[in-house]
Amino acid sequence: MARLSLDDYADASGADGTPAASGADAAAAARGAGAAGDVRIDDPGYLVGVPDEFQRLWTPHRMVYIQNGQQPGADDCPFCVAPTMSDEDALIVARGTHAYALLNLFPYNSGHLLVCPYRHIATYDEATPEEIAEIGSITQTAMRVIRQVSKNDGFNIGMNQGAIAGAGIAAHLHQHIVPRWAQDANFLPIIAKTKALPQLLGDVRAAIADAWPKD
């Protein structure tokens, strides 16, 4: 699409000396000035709404949560589906016998991992001793690997049990491992509800998976 400036709208005066159209009329005239579908109006004076100082961060991938709700159905749990996919497609960094680790698709920080049992259970008290032991072992290994790869200064580790407690996927147990740096908090999360993530998920997954100890 062509980007229009004010010069591409109606002239300051028409050919007969009459004032040029303004507002919606000028916008309509501008749309007719070029080929169909060839025009984009980029001057806020010709758009609907009141301009302000805010930037808009468009996140269409979150429509799945808005349209369907945060809690998936019993047959489409993402933590049950992920192990059936390739490591790259599911963002899995390590697989164990009873549990596995994968990147959070909506990370708080780069390297934000989730440790999940393969079994579809909701809360920690439903886990077997073997599942608990492997979740703990994978968590310890993840901490060592992330520290080696990312040189972070600390971690937030925890589980949200149930939707009322803030669990995004309440039906499938998962533990968060969030690396933290001494100066990783800035004004964006506080005033703009936005996190700046310097690495792409695929690159983070590859770095952690490559550094994960091989059996």
Residue 19: Cβ within 10 Å count = 10
Residue 137, C-beta contacts closer than 8 angstroms, at least 6 positions apart: 96
pLDDT digits (tens, 9 = 90+) for 74-128: 567 899 999 999 999 999 999 999 999 999 988 888 899 999 999 999 999 999 9
Residue 199: which pLDDT band, with cuts at 50, 70 and 90? confident
Of 32-36, 67-71, 102-106, which range is least confident? 32-36
Query: What pLDDT, on the 0 to 100 scale, is given for residue 73?
Result: 61
Residue 73, C-beta contacts closer than 8 angstroms, at least 6 positions apart: none
This prediction's pTM: 0.63
Catalytic annotation present for 120: no
Catalytic residue among 98, 112, 172, 174: 174
Residue 166: which pLDDT band, with cuts at 50, 70 and 90? confident
Does 26 score more than 90 pLDDT?
Answer: no
Residue 176, C-beta contacts closer than 8 angstroms, at least 6 positions apart: 104, 112, 113, 114, 156, 157, 158, 159, 160
How does the average pLDDT of the chain come out, rounded? Answer: 77
DSSP 164: G
Does 209 score more than 50 pLDDT?
Answer: yes
Does 14 score more than 70 pLDDT?
Answer: no
